[in-house]
């Protein structure tokens, strides 16, 4: 099976180069990997002590950041190497300040794995949540490098638990310790004979809890809000927006809306703005420096990235997008930490924190336009209801902190 896997990786490598000629995202994926070994050779010396963290994308990076920061503090003389698989992670965080070298992870071939590990020569390795690359893991096992999985999630439908998944199960032998989010993941690993496992919880709770300690003020958002009840719509997709725009256009209540779409393609942003009948403004228009009297607008569309977390601090109600697509809803913990009631779409079952908050009734799932209208109308008109649900959300975050300390206490 490993032979077949390696053959598939080689074929994928060939096909990706073709797709890259038509897709800007795939071009980043392919072109971004070309200078990886050169970058590592220039930033990591043979005598350097290093620690390597791998994140699939932006969400996993943010999830692992509390551990990265703590490890950096605990091992101040080690260089930190962070790798990403996805352009959506690397392109946003390639200039982070926590790592000494940030690169794309070369595709999982035996040759790439050997060369990458020779250049990085890590003393410890951390994989965040998932992404189990057999060739990298097999090489780490041969090198006897301490390797950890943090905030891991396992499900019965994964290849490890299939009759044909032997080579994937073999790759798991590389892990010195598994830090998983829940008991069901631990039980699945125990079925494979893995006793080197602990339920630590999700390090994202530690990450979002620290947000409260930072300066989350944005003058232009404060001006726009103007002491008016505000709904923040974060990481929205067209399916979310089709329902939300109808509500925005029809509501007669005194309320403002901030929309931060997941995709900030200029054409899609303009389509969104054109669909809104109320007075709307784009962040890119504000950025020009013109005096637009922001307080006079009803809708503020954020056509940039990197400021949504701070914007959530101004929300009275939050809608988090993605719940009408697959795999489902985006990060609900950022608005939750600010004590904001949350509304999401119906697809959230793969996300433990969303499932828990829906069960606790701090987060409300809606499936159609009528449900959205009813839920929003109730939350807008009932301040007590907003505060009750918001309190559930903030308490949920505070009660689930601590995963980072559990991990650090286990690592020598």
Token digits of residue 20: 């890259």
In the three-class reduction of DSSP (H, G, I as helix; E, B as strand; rest coil), residue 104 is classed as strand
Q: What is the DSSP string of 235-289?
A: EE-HHHHHHHHHHHHH--SS-EEEEEES---HHHHHHHHHH--S-EEEHHHHTTT
Token digits of residue 296: 């006079």
From 31, 60, 131, 388, active-site residue? 60
How far does CA 36 lie from the centroid of its chain? 23
Residue 107 DSSP label: P
Does 285 qualify as catalytic in the annotation?
Answer: no
Rounded to whole angstroms, how far apart are CA atoms 292 and 281? Answer: 9
Residue 134: which residues within 8 A CB-CB, separation 6 or more?
2, 5, 108, 167, 168, 170, 171
Rounded to whole angstroms, how far apart are CA atoms 120 and 116? Answer: 6
Alpha helix (H) ranges present in 144-218? 166-171, 183-191, 203-211
Token digits of residue 196: 């080197």
**With contact defined as beta carbons under 8 Å apart, do 311 and 365 qualify?**
no
Burial of 3 (0-12, 13-18, 19+ CB in 10 A): exposed
Catalytic residues: 60
């Amino acid at each position: 099976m490993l032979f077949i896997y390696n053959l598939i990786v080689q074929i994928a490598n060939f096909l990706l180069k073709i797709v890259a000629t038509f897709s800007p995202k795939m071009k980043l994926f392919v072109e971004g990997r070309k200078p990886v070994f050169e970058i590592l050779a220039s930033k990591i010396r043979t005598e350097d002590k290093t620690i390597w963290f791998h994140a699939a994308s932006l969400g996993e990076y943010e999830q692992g950041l509390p551990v990265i920061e703590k490890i950096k503090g605990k091992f101040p003389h080690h260089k930190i190497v962070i790798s990403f698989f996805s352009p959506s992670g690397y392109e946003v965080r390639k200039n982070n300040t926590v790592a000494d070298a940030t690169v794309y992870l070369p595709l999982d071939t035996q040759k790439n794995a050997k060369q990458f590990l020779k250049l990085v020569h890590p003393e410890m390795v951390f994989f965040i949540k998932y992404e189990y690359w057999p060739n990298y893991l097999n090489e780490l096992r041969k090198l006897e490098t301490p390797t950890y999985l943090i905030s891991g999630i396992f499900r019965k439908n994964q290849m490890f638990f299939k009759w044909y998944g032997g080579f994937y199960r073999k790759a798991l032998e590389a892990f010195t310790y598994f830090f998983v989010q829940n008991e069901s993941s631990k039980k699945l690993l125990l079925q494979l004979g893995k006793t080197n496992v602990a339920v630590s919880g999700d390090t994202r709770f530690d990450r979002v809890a620290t947000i409260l300690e930072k300066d989350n003020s944005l003058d232009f958002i404060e001006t726009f809000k103007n002491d008016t009840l505000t709904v923040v719509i974060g990481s929205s997709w067209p399916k979310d927006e089709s329902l939300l725009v109808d509500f925005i256009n029809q509501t007669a209540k005194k309320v403002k809306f901030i929309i931060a779409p997941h995709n900030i393609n200029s054409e899609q942003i303009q389509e969104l703005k054109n669909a809104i009948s109320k007075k709307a403004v784009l962040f890119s228009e504000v950025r020009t420096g013109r005096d637009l009297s922001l307080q006079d607008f009803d809708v503020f569309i954020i056509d940039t990235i990197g400021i949504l977390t701070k914007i959530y601090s101004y929300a009275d109600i939050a809608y988090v997008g993605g719940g009408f697509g697959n795999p489902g809803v985006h990060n609900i913990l950022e608005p939750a930490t600010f004590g904001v009631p949350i509304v999401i779409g119906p697809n959230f079952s793969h996300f433990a924190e969303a499932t828990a908050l829906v069960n606790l009734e701090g987060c409300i799932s809606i499936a159609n336009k009528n449900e959205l209208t009813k839920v929003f109308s109730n939350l807008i008109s009932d301040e007590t209801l907003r505060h009750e649900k918001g309190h559930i959300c903030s308490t949920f975050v505070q009660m689930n902190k601590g995963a980072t300390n559990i991990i650090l206490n286990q690592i020598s």
